[in-house]
Structure 1
Amino acid sequence: MPAQADPEPVTLLLVLEDTETLSSLSDIGEQEGLRVLHAESAQDALAILELEPVDMVLCDALTPGLDGHEVLELIQERWPDCIRLLMTDVSSGLEEALRAIDEGHVYGFIPKPWHEERLRLLLRRSREHLGTQREWMQREMALLEQNQDLIALNAALEQRIEATQQELKQTAEMLDKTYDELLHMHVTTARVIGDLLHHRLPRHLQTNEQVYALVTAFCETHALDHTLQQDLQLAAALYNIGKLTWDDHLLATPSEQLSANERTAYQHYPVSGENHLMAMPQLKRAAKFVRHHRERWNGNGFPDRLEGSDIPYGSRLLGLAVDFIELQRGMVLPREVPRPQALALLRKFAGRIYDPELCHDFVKLCVEKAPDLQTSGKAVISLETSQVKPGMILAQDIYSASGMLLLHEGKRLDQHLMDKLKNFEEIEGRNYTVLVYRP
C-alpha cells in the first residue's frame, strides 16, 4: 500500500498577556498536536499573521492595545479562513461573546476561569472544523482545476470542430463543383448528341440551339431551381433524339401535313426519346420532360393525354419553346410563321394547348428579352418606338396588324423610317415593340 501523506500541521496563535496562562495553554496545544505561537499583544499577533500562515487564533478578551473582540474582527476581515477563539470572563463578557459568535466574528469561546477538558474539546472541534474547511477548499481547487481542464478541452474541441467543419465545407464545395462540372458535361454531351440530328436537317430546320436558349433564359429570369434548370437544358438539347430513326422526308414534312401512318410515327417520337435516355440514370428527369412535352393543357396531347398540372412543369415549358421555334421554321404549318404571329398563336392557345400562366410569362420573356434572337453573341433589347434612336439595327421583322411586312430584320433605322413607323402606330391605334441589337 502506498504511504499516506502526513496531514498538514495546524498552527495555533495564542494572544495572551498572562505568561502563566500562556505557558499552560501552550502545553495543552502542543499535547493536542498543534504548532503553537505566542503573542503578548494585538500588535504582536498582527505582525505574526503578516509573516506566516496561522490556522487558529485564541485571543484573550483583555488583550493589550486592542481588546480581543476588536482583534478577532480585524483578523476576520484580513484572514477570514483563520479560526477565531475568544477567552473571556464568564461573569462580564459572556453576552458579548455570544453576540460575536452569532455575528460570525468568533467560532467559539473559553470562559474564565478556564477548564482544561473544555479547552481540549474546543481545540479538537476547531481542528475538525479546520480539516473540513481544508477538505472543501481542496475539493473546490480540484473542481476549479477540472473546470479549467474542461474549458481547455472545450476550446480544443471547438477548434477541432471548426477545423472539421472547414474541411467538410471545403469538401462539400469541391463535391458541388465536381457535381456541377459533371452536370455541365452531361449537358454538353447532350447538345453534341442533339447535333447529330442537325446534320440530317437543312440549317433552317435546326431548332435545338434556340430552344436551349429560350429554356435557359426562362430558368435564369425566373430563378428556377438549379436542378430543374439542368434537367430542362438536357431536355432542350435532346428532345428530338426520338427522331433519329426517321427518314429525311418525315423530318422535313410539317406535322400538319403528315399522313395517318406518318402521324403515328410522329406521335411516338417523345416516347422513343424517353426510351433512349432512360438508360442513363442522370437523364431520367430530363427523359420525363421529353416524353410529355407534346401533352396539351386540355388533355388532347400525346402520348399519355395528361391534362393541366398533371403535365410536368418542365414539359410545359419545353413544349412552349419547341412550338414557338418550330412554328417560325415551318415545321408545324406548311408555311413559316413570322415571330410576332407565332407569339400571337401562343397567346391564342393559352388555356387549351398551353399552361395559361406559364404561357403569359414565356411570351413576356420573348417580347422583352428575345433570347432566341441572340446571334453571334449579340444581345437584343426591347424598345418602344419613342425610345428608338437612329443607327439602331432591327433584330426582328416588324409587321402591321394586317400582316404586311413593314421593316425587316437587319434594317438600320434612320429618322425617316422611325417617322413612318410612328405613322402606322397612329393609323392602327396600337404601339409596336421594336427589338434591336444591343449596341
Structure 2
Amino acid sequence: MEEQLPTTVTDKPTLLLVDDEESILNSLRRLLRSQPYEVLLATSGAQALEIMAQRPVDLVMSDARMPNMDGATLLAYIHQHYPNTTRIMLTGYADPSAIIKAINEGQIHRYISKPWHDEEMLLTLRQSLAYQYSERERLRLVQETWDQNEKLKLLNATLEKHVAARTSELQQTADMLDLAYEELKRSYVTGTEVFSLLANLRLPPAKQTNRQIIELVRVYCKLHSLDEGTSRDLTMAAALYNIGKLSWTDSMMSTPSDLLHHNDRERYRGYPKQSESLLMTLDPMKDAARLILHHQERWDGSGFPDRLKGEAIPLGSRLLKLAVDFIELQRGLILERQMNSDEALVYIRQYAGRLYDPELVEDFIQVCAAYLSDVTLADPTVKVLTTRDLVAGMILARNLNADNGMLLLNAGKVLNGPLVEKLIAFEAMEGAKYSIFVKVPEEVEAAILETS
C-alpha cells in the first residue's frame, strides 16, 4: 500500500477516532466539534483501515481494547504502512503488555487514560499535531539540504560567489534543523510526563510520587541553572523512573521496600534495569534511561544493579535518588512509617556518605526548603532533638505526631518541664523514638551553656 501524502500546513488536520463503543466516539465528537479539525469515526480496526486506504489521515487515536483487532495491533499496522500518521492510544485500564507493544511496535506518540479531562485531551491533540508538523518540517529541511548539496556539486569552483551564498543558506538550514530537533526533544519531555501517569494509575493517590519528583527536580535544575539538556534528561528520568514496576502486583506496588520478602525483594532490585530496557529503544531517552538505571546505586557501593560507588555513579543518578527517596519516604514506600518532609530530610542527612553523596545532601535540603513551605530543617535556628534533650522554654518548630499519626503538640507550642516529662513517658509507653524540631530562644541557649 502506498504511503499517504503529508497534509500541508494550511489544510485542516484530519483526525480518525477508533473505538468499539459509540458512546465514547460521540463524546469525543462533541468535544472536538468546535475545534479546527476534520473528525472521522470508526468502530473497529478494520473500518479504520478502510478509511485510511481512501484518504489521508493526520492523527489516529484508538482505544486499546477492541474485538478482533486491538488498539496496539492497529497502531502497529498504521506505523508500518502510514508512518507519517501520528498515533495515540486511549484506554481505561493499565495493561503493561499492551502499552509496551504499542510503544515498541506502534511507536505511539502519546498515551491517554479514560476517563479523560477535556482540557488535557485538547492539549494533547494540539501538542501531537504540533509535533507531527515539526517532524514533517524536519524531513522537508533534510530533503532541501540534500538538494542544495547536489546543486553545489554542479556549480563547483567556477561559481565561487554562488557557492558562498549557498553556504550561508546551508548554515541557516542547519540552524533550523537544530531548532527542529530541539523542539522534538522537548516534545519527548511532555510525552514522558503524560506517560508517567500510567505508573500512578497503579497506586492510590496517597502513594503516588511521579508528579512531586518531577516538580522537585525542576526546582533543583532552575536553582542551579543547569543547561537545557541536563534538565531535560533529569525531568524525563523523574517522570519514568518507576516504569519498570508496571508488571508488579498491586500489593507489591504499595508495600514499603523495607518490608518486601526475599522473592519480591529480588524483583524490586531489578526494576531500574527493567525501566532502562523499556526506554533504550527511544533515542532521545537514552541519557535519561542511564540515569534511571543507576538511581538506586549507593554512595558506599552497596546499591544496585551494578554496585557502583562514589563518583562512579552518574551525578544525575545521585540527584534522582535524593529526590525519589525524599518523596517515597513521605509516601511510606521505603519504610512502613510515613515521614513528614523534615523527618525524611533527617533520614537523608543521617545516611549521607552511606546511601547519598555527602556533598549534595545539605544543598538538596536547601532546594527542598525552596520547593516546600513546610520544610524547617533548612532554617539554621531549628534543631532536631530527642525528648531527653528538650529544655523548658524551647519552641516547637513543627507539629509533633505519634507514630500512629495522632497529633501530640502543635507547632509554636512553648515547652515546659511537666510537658517534657509527659513526652518522655508517652514515648517510652509507645516504644517509639521521636525527633523533635525546636527553635531555641537566645536566653534558653545561654542558660544551657551556663549549666553545661
- TM-score (ref. length: structure 2): 0.49
Larger Rg: 1
- TM-score (ref. length: structure 1): 0.50
